[in-house]
Amino acid sequence: MSERASVPAEDEQQEETEAEEQTQAPVTTGAQSVVRALENAGAEYVFGVQGGAIMPVYDALYDSDITHVTMAHEQGASHAADAYGIVTGDPGVCFATSGPGATNLVTGIADANMDSDPMIALTGQVPSNFVGNDAFQETDTVGITQPITKESYFANHSDTVGHDVSEAFALADAGRQGPTLVDLPKDITQGETDVEPNPPTTPDTYHVQEEADEADVQAAADALAAADRPVILSGGGVIKADASNALREFAMEYEIPVITTMPGIGSFPEDHELSLEWAGMHGTGYANMAITNTDCMLAIGTRFDDRLTGGVDSFAPDAEVIHVDIDPAEISKNIYADYPLIGDAREVLRQLFDAMPRAPDADEWREQCQTWKDEFPMSYEMPDDEPLKPQYVVETFSDVTPEDTIVCTGVGQHQMWASQFWEYTEPRTWVSSHGLGTMGYGVPAAIGAKLAAPDQEVVCFDGDGSFLMTVQGLSVAVRENLDITYVILNNEAVGMVRQWQDGFYEGRRMASEYPWIPQFDKLAEAFGARGFRLEDSEDVEETIQAARDYDGPSVIDAHIDPGENVFPMVPSGGDNGLFALEEDHLEML
Amino acid sequence: MPGPAPTERIRPEGRRNSQGIRVDPEAEVTHDPRQAVLSALVKHKPGVLAEVSGLFSRRQFNIESLTVGPTSDENIARMTILIEEPEPGIDQAKKQLQKLVPVISVTELEPEALRRELALIKVGGEKPDDVNAVAEMYDGQAVDASTDSVTVEITGSKQKIDAAVEAFKQFDVQEIVRTGAAALERGPKTLDTDV
């Protein structure tokens, strides 16, 4: 599976024994201290690309049990590490060299930052005496990444570099998770030291409050119990805090309908009667109706992103908001919290569970929610003579796979269909780029997800435009023989842009149509993967089965109806209750 | 079975303002900006100023002035940041600042806190006595003089310095430098006790 898989088996065994012994050996260089810090923190994989300034760290990695996965591009390394972090809950690790290596990581770091995914990036840097001189492959990595990390460290001594990595690792995982970075000048990693890194501990200025104030919890619980139209809004933070079970217990005990945000998908089973699935721009009609009409919202681990809220003036306008978040800065940032509860989602849910005086009297409300489910079902039309429908591909795939199947996506229309028409029941099975909306996320993310959960099935839905942005990652999936099924919902366009152009720019399709894209099935074969071309609805099941049966990466190039658009839709900044169910509705808004 | 069209759906009465706060649906509600003095203790190490100033610029907080200097503890520096924002923005600025890893503590000082700014004003040297007389009116003093110029030091509130600068305009002002405010709570209260 690793880079060194080409080493003959017996040598490898011998090497492994040596490696174990050397793991115990004292640290002699800064680079070894860096690797030791990663080992101490429990790192299993590193996703990266070699290069001049990071070379000493790679050399130290040679003697480590940590498996290095060489990616085809540093952006892929950061997305793979990000996905690894989402699936395992532990920080994913990525490496890049200085200059272009480091800047290529930036997209993935920003992505992790927006979605609060735990990740640590280690970048090579030119030797200290060249820093600031515009040396070959120099860039101000700390300066560039400071706004998109929890903290970016510049290592300035061989004796402390291991400690910097330990601290960065702990920080990425603590409280509200997120990315950290350590920039490693070459002389610092090459330099001699015998200092063992400290165990991973967060900086002394970083404080996390685990439990919310008891009186505040009681006030919030009383408000929720008194509500006529209560909802729970479950965000990505519920999954990050491993609070899905606590959420399920709470919602089911007090019979409160649950809406998730898009990153919160999987925190509550979508097949449960209390589930209204997810709300926001392309969320379900019933979730958006419930959000709009609720009088008390228990929002947990969500930052009220604008794709969720639409215009804030019309978001849950009648609702008292109870906001649970581990990050105090999220409280009243976008939506005012009447009851702020700062703490870990799992702990606070437990506190709330105990504090609830009774279940809200909400029979009528639940009936109303059911009515909305009946009125606005998630559906699509599939006449016999029509081209292949993307929703049908997603739904069919969802029906045949186990519940713990992990779905990764790129960004675009396919991402919305994959979130709408797949039925999610388990946390950490939905791996997508939400806040940053990074096209190209899917191919490398699926690699990180598969390595994180080798026993779970991994499917990646991508678009033709999104897939093409990181297609080189397919070489990695082939080399590592990762059993991933890539499904390209191919409409020869950046479809979401085209949808907006058609809806809001009078159909002026400037630069959104891609009739020149390659034949992805053949491209897959060229990489050494299995390729399938899918055009007819009646071939869907069979093709999916063939791709699943293949032991290794496969790519289904599914040529879908190019006229298909994503609905429901709340126009940007609009009113969630006024979602459009079809093109005609957009004109009413 | 498509449900009601957008305009025919159940609608609640309420609304929020642009800050996400529920408001009277009939009334216009805005929060006027006010000035706040934030005092932050930070780790005294390279890059902290960039981190703090970067935070303020990328979140579009309207910053009036930012000063930084050492404290009695050589590992800790103190920043005084004046911002002018509506209430929710001030609250958000405090929390975002507190979130930065090198930031030890953040406090908003009381409105009556001591606030001092320093200005050095260099004017033409033709009328040194007149310059000195104006300087004295503002409790300032000439700190450098040559045949062609006089440099005056003024310390005080922003308003006092604004007024002084205005007064010195009669003397061919050549250069001005101002520090921005440094501020400290009145009475025995100190920030350090909050650490």
Residues of B in contact with A203 (CB under 8 A): 101
Phi, psi dihedral angles at A431 (to 5 degrees):
-120, 105
Identify the pLDDT of residue B194. 46
Q: Do A578 and B6 touch (CB under 8 A)?
A: yes
ipTM exceeds 0.85, yes or no? yes
The neighbouring-strand residues paired with B65 are B82
Torsions phi, psi for A485 (to 5 deg): -105, 110
How would you classify the pairing of strands A119-125 and A179-185? parallel
Which of A22, A50, A137, A218 is labelled catalytic? A137
Task: State the number of CA atoms in the 13 A half-sphere of A480 facing the CB.
Answer: 26
Question: Smallest Cα–Cα separation from B90: which of B58, B51, B59?
Answer: B59
Residue A475 exposure: Cα atoms within 13 Å on the Cβ side: 9
The pLDDT confidence band at residue B18, using thresholds 50, 70 and 90, is: confident
Quick one: angle between helices A390-400 and A540-549, nearest 10? 50
Average pLDDT over every residue of B74-103: 95
Q: Mean pLDDT over all residues of chain B?
A: 92
Q: How far is B50 from chain A (nearest CA, A)?
A: 8
Residues in chain A: 589
Please answer whether residues A462 and A414 qualify as being in contact, where contact means their C-beta atoms are separated by less than 8 angstroms: yes
User: Is B14 in contact with A289 (Cβ distance < 8 A)?
Assistant: no
Q: Which residues of B touch A582 (CB under 8 A)?
A: 2
Cα of A499 vs its chain's centroid, Å: 24
Tens place of pLDDT per residue across chain A (589 aa): 444 444 455 555 555 555 555 556 899 999 999 999 999 999 999 999 999 999 999 999 999 999 999 999 999 999 999 999 999 999 999 999 999 999 999 999 999 999 999 999 999 999 999 999 999 999 999 999 999 999 999 999 999 999 999 999 999 999 999 999 999 999 999 999 999 999 999 999 999 999 999 999 999 999 999 999 999 999 999 999 999 999 999 999 999 999 999 999 999 999 999 999 999 999 999 999 999 999 999 999 999 999 999 999 999 999 999 999 999 999 999 999 999 999 999 999 999 999 999 999 999 999 999 999 999 999 998 877 779 999 999 999 999 999 999 999 999 999 999 999 999 999 999 999 999 999 999 999 999 999 999 999 999 999 999 999 999 999 999 999 999 999 999 999 999 999 999 999 999 999 999 999 999 999 999 999 999 999 999 999 999 999 999 999 999 999 999 999 999 999 999 999 999 998 888 888 8
Q: How far apart are the first and last CA of chain B?
A: 61
Compute CA distances A456 → A74, A192, B79, whole Å.
25, 43, 51
pLDDT band at B28 (very low <50, low <70, confident <90, very high): confident
* CB contact at 8 A, A402 and A232: no
Distance CA A334, CA A356 (A): 27
Residue B1 has pLDDT above 60, yes or no: no
Of A133, A114, A66, the C-alpha closest to A432 is A114
Subunit contact B12:A293, Cβ cutoff 8 A: yes
Identify the H or E element spanning B167.
Answer: helix B158-168
Give residue A534's pLDDT: 97
Active site residue A137: yes
Residue type, A10: E
Residue/partner pairs of B24-31 with CB below 8 Å, 24 or more apart:
B30/B86, B31/B86, B31/B87, B31/B88
Catalytic annotation on A136?
Answer: yes
Inter-helix orientation angle B158-168/B128-137, to 10°: 160
The CA-atom distances, in angstroms, between A246 and each of A249, A453, B43, B162 are 5, 23, 38, 59
Torsions phi, psi of A162, nearest 5?
Answer: -65, -40
Q: Are A95 and A47 in contact (CB under 8 A)?
A: yes
| Average pLDDT estimate for B116-124 | 96
CB pairs under 8 A between A and B: 106
Closest listed residue to residue A105, CA positions, set A139, A73, A62, A61:
A73
- Neighboring chain A residues of B95 at a CB cutoff of 8 Å: 328-329, 331
Contact in structure between A172 and A180 (CB atoms under 8 Å): yes
Confidence at residue A342, expressed as pLDDT on a 0 to 100 scale: 98
Query: Look-up: residue for tokens 């190209």?
Result: A440
DSSP assignment of B14-56 equals -EE-TTS-EE-TTS---PPPEEEEEEEEEE-STTHHHHHHHHH
Contact A121, A171 (CB under 8 A): no
Where residue A362 falls (left for φ over 0; alpha for ψ -120 to 50; beta otherwise) is: alpha
Contact A568, A282 (CB under 8 A): yes
CA torsion, ordered A395, A396, A402, A404, to nearest 10 deg: -30
Task: Find the closest chain B residue to A180 by CA distance.
Answer: B101
Mean pLDDT of B34-54: 94
Report residue B7's pLDDT band, with 50, 70 and 90 as the boundaries: confident
Q: Helix A30-40 vs helix A161-173: angle between axes, to the nearest 10 degrees?
A: 30
For chain A, first and last CA: distance in Å? Answer: 53
pTM of the model: 0.94
Owner of token pair 């760290």? A57
pLDDT score of A41: 98
Q: Do B16 and A588 touch (CB under 8 A)?
A: no
Residues of B in contact with A332 (CB under 8 A): 20, 88, 91-92
Q: What is the pLDDT of residue B144?
A: 95
Close Cβ partners of A366 (under 8 Å, ≥ 6 residues apart): A255, A257, A274
Catalytic residue (choose from A262, A496, A532, A579): A496
Choose among A500, A475, A497: nearest CA to A571.
A500
Give the burial class of A385: count Cβ atoms within 10 A of its Cβ; 0-12 exposed, 13-18 middle, 19 or more buried: exposed
